[in-house]
Structure 1
Amino acid sequence: MNILITGGAGFIGLALTDALRVAGHTVTPLDNLSVTSRRPSPKGLVVREVRALTPRDLDGVDTVIHLAALKSVPDSFETGNLEHNVAVDRHILHTFVVSTARRLLMASSCEVYGEQTGPLAENAPYAARSPYAVGKVASEQLAGIYRPLLGDGRQLGIVRFFNTFGPQEGADAVVPAFLSAVTGDRPLTIQGDGTQARDLTYIDDAIAMLTRVLDGPELLPVVNLGSGRAVPVRDVADAVIRAAGRGTITHAAPRINEISSFTADLSLFTRTYGTVDRTPLDAALALSLQSFGRPLTAAGPRR
């Protein structure tokens, strides 16, 4: 396939670009490089704004994978990332619909579920608790408006990511923030009491799930990509300290509108695409730690 990936220099975009190229696909990564990254840019990167894309740019493209976004939930309370993300998503939707490309796969987030109990299935109601999440809800609803405009054989799908982490991730999420702290000999800062739980998905597992989606005969309107297990943040901190062999923990005020738990219901994914092997959390953290600094000496965790 000939594939265009927006956000191709980002954490997930770079890993997906590499995996799809290894599988024999022709991949064009596109990114505006507005977000500072620890990673080298992928070969053949097109440095361009998504909103500068025209339908002609999609000539000869089979599949567009739209990952580009400003993704910080806390920052969304202070900045205009809601408006930015929705504008970018609307542009890619319109550009795709009037182009000759066959498929568009858009990235969304577990944040659209908000505060709900139990494993979160795709048919659960929206319950956004941040401007970022409101933007993702709006973009999913825009996709629902554009989907009926597609002709025969054309597809538009959405994947909802649940806390993907791994080597070389920017320190703007809980796992890389902990890894960055421990390798920098700083305390691991837990916002709140640490009982809030997150469904953590190692990057290799997330890419395996994405590949299954792309290799399937048809894109689902929306499907979860996660591990199916929620881990309390304080347990994640302890696991990072075990992997590093040292470290201390401190606490700060809770995040605004903190959500107590995210757990992906993977029933739909499994029925459609089968099961994917999971990397154990301790092993995934050890692999991720290697990209954040020097190895540390063995010691027990302290609070």
Structure 2
Amino acid sequence: MQEKVATMGERYLVTGCAGFIASRVCEMLLAQGHEVLGWDEINDAYDPRLKEWRLNNLKRFPQFRFEQVDISDEAQVENAFARAGKPALSAVINLAARAGVRASVRNPAVYYKANCTGTLVLLEFCRRYGISKFILASTSSLYGAHNPVPYREDADTNRPLSPYAASKKAAETLAFTYHYLHKLDVTVLRYFTVYGPAGRPDMSIFRFIRQIAEDEPIIVYGDGTQKRDFTYVDDIAAGTIAALRPLGYEIINLGGDRSVELNHVIRLISEKLGKQAKIERRPPHPADVRATWADIHKAKELLGWAPMVPIEEGIARCVNWYLTHRDTMRTISLGD
């Protein structure tokens, strides 16, 4: 059983609240009886209809308040903080980001704006408003291709392979600076390949389930033997909430503690749907790494956290969710 560390009746700001991970964090906090201020700019990084679907689920909670805010816009953030009122916020959980390795190669500037400038703006307002706890979502992509697996938090992260990873490295560094200068309690969480119901449509599991279910071909870059540490969204959300405890400044991996071949994931989806995948193979992408795998000893020690949902169960939940919401989700754009 994951330990619940947030005190009943706290008030939290969660940025990117219409996003995949953030919406689940909000839902868990709200279910625990907390008040959540949710900010999101509802951009078109992927089909906004999925973001609206998640947001509508949150709006059923009376203690949830939504504002459309671009965290990289200082004037918008200043006005939103001023409207937040009392009681004071217990923490800022910054899950707003531009995510995705390949897309960042095509448009690096938008990643810098959201992930670096946005983080800096929020850190500065935490300093001004005396908000002592800041959680930053980061990424396993920082570990690049040169570190041995499983990745430890003290591994070299100075050679990121994509603008996305580089932007998250910059955000981590800014967060440390604010911890050092202004004594903010900062926890950086490096997420590993998060999947689950209502996941991002540009990521492989949502995409593969949709395409296999609808008898469409799937695209696999390389031979499918590349491995990822797939982590179920509920586990990630529980770890994020556990990180609300005071820790000073820490970087912590949250991963499934198991590196799984992409071919195995495709087989699981095919078996659950009772359909054979039609695979189109493309050359490997230069920004992709061969394998990811999280060393989660630190998360166990500091957060009392461990993943609870194995990939087999998680895939089954995702397929069931898709089939339940098929009429809507079959129309969601998968992007490029």
- Secondary structure of the corresponding residue to residue 96 of structure 1: helix
Match of 2:181 in 1: 149
2:189 to 149, 159, 166: 159
- CA-CA distance at 1:83 after TM superposition: 2.0
Q: Deviations over 1:135-160 (max 9, x none)?
A: 11111111122211224xx4122111
Q: Displacement, 1:56? A: 3.8
Q: Tell me whether 1:204 sits opposite 2:213 in the alignment.
A: no
Cα deviation, residue 277, structure 1: 4.9
Map 1:116-195 to 2 at 5 A. Answer: 116-126=147-157, 127-151=159-183, 154-195=184-225
Give, in angstroms, the shift of residue 200 of structure 1: 0.4
Q: CA RMSD in A?
A: 1.9
Once the two structures are TM-superposed, the CA of residue 253 in structure 1 deviates from its matched residue by 2.2
Aligned counterpart, 1:18:
27
Aligned ranges 1:73-112 → 2 under 5 Å: 73-79=101-107, 80-84=109-113, 85-112=115-142
Post-superposition offset of 1:58: 6.2
* Structure 2 residue ranges without an equivalent (≥5): 1-9, 60-64, 327-336
Q: Relative to 1, partners in 2 of residues 1:291 and 1:269: Cα closer, same or farther, differing over 3 Å?
A: same
Equivalent pairs counted in the alignment come to 293
Partner residue, 2:77: 53
Give the letter aligned to residue 32 of structure 2. A
Structure 2: how far apart are the matches of 1:231 and 1:155? Answer: 34
Change in 2 beyond 3 A, CA 1:241/1:167:
same
Alpha-carbon separation, structure 2, partners of 1:122 and 1:259: 17
- Which is helix-richer, 1 or 2? 2
Q: 1:192–1:14: structure 2 CA closer, same or farther, 3 Å change rule?
A: same
User: Per-residue deviation at 1:129?
Assistant: 0.4
Shift of 1:294: 6.2
Partner of 1:227: 256
Question: Deviation of residue 208 (structure 1)?
Answer: 1.8
Label 1:10 to 1:190 Cα distance change in 2 as closer, same or farther (>3 A). Answer: same
Task: Tell me which residue corresponds to 1:63.
Answer: 91
Percent of pairs with identical residues: 26
CA distance in 2 between counterparts of 1:103 and 1:76 reads 29
Query: 1:276 Cα deviation (Å)?
Result: 2.9
Structure 1's 180 and 200: CA in aligned 2 closer, same or farther, altered over 3 A?
Answer: same
Q: Which range moves more in the overlay, 17-26 or 283-292? A: 283-292
Shift of residue 188 of structure 1? 2.6
Per-residue deviation at 1:134? 0.7
Is 1:285 matched with 2:315?
A: yes
| Paired position in structure 2 for 1:258 | 288
Equivalent position amino acid for 1:141 in 2:
T
Check whether the contact 1:194–1:233 (CA below 8 A) recurs between aligned residues: yes
With normalisation by structure 1, the TM-score equals: 0.91
| Counterpart-to-counterpart distance in 2, 1:239 and 1:12 | 23
The secondary structure found in structure 2 opposite 1:291 is helix
Partner of 1:105: helix, strand, or coil? strand
| TM-score of the pair, normalised by structure 2 | 0.82
CA distance, structure 2, for counterparts of residue 57 and residue 143 of structure 1 = 25
Q: Secondary structure at the match of 2:322?
A: coil
SS of aligned partner of 1:262: coil
Q: 2:42 maps to what in 1?
A: 33
CA distance in 2 between partners of 1:281 and 1:205 (Å): 12
| Structure 1 unaligned residues grouped into runs of 5+ | 297-303
Deviation at 1:94, TM superposition (A): 1.7
- TM-fit CA distance, 1:114: 0.6
